[in-house]
Amino acid sequence: MKELRAANLAVRFVLELTALGVVAYWGYATGSGVGAWLLALACPVALALAWGVFVSPKARVPLPPLARFAVEIGFFAVAALALWSVGQPVWAIVLLVVAVVSGALDRSGP
């Protein structure tokens, strides 16, 4: 069971980094000129701040487990919507499904 938990934590970490990369890509693809670079930098920073405040193990705003899960899924939904909007609907669905399954597994363990 410990191996499954460790593997899931690794998957979750990769998902988090992927979500940040996706919103950076979305920002760059959506903007133009200097605005593209600003969006590419600001979007992942905003998402990372939200994660740190509400979801991280050292969250500044502790939430009940269900609310925390909802915010976490919202985090990945933003990334999935970003992928969808740049013409990658299959990857958007894959990202969201893997995030939900991983989140559910994370909560089912001891």
Number of domains in the chain: 1
Q: Is the pLDDT of residue 109 over 70?
A: no
Range 98-108 average pLDDT? 89
- Type of residue numbered 81: L
**Which domain does 21 fall in, by range?**
2-108
Torsion sign across C-alpha atoms 85, 91, 97, 102: negative
Q: How far apart are CA 82 and CA 88, in angstroms?
A: 9
Q: What pLDDT digit, counting tens, does each position of 50-95 carry?
A: 999 998 888 999 999 899 999 999 999 999 999 999 999 999 999 9
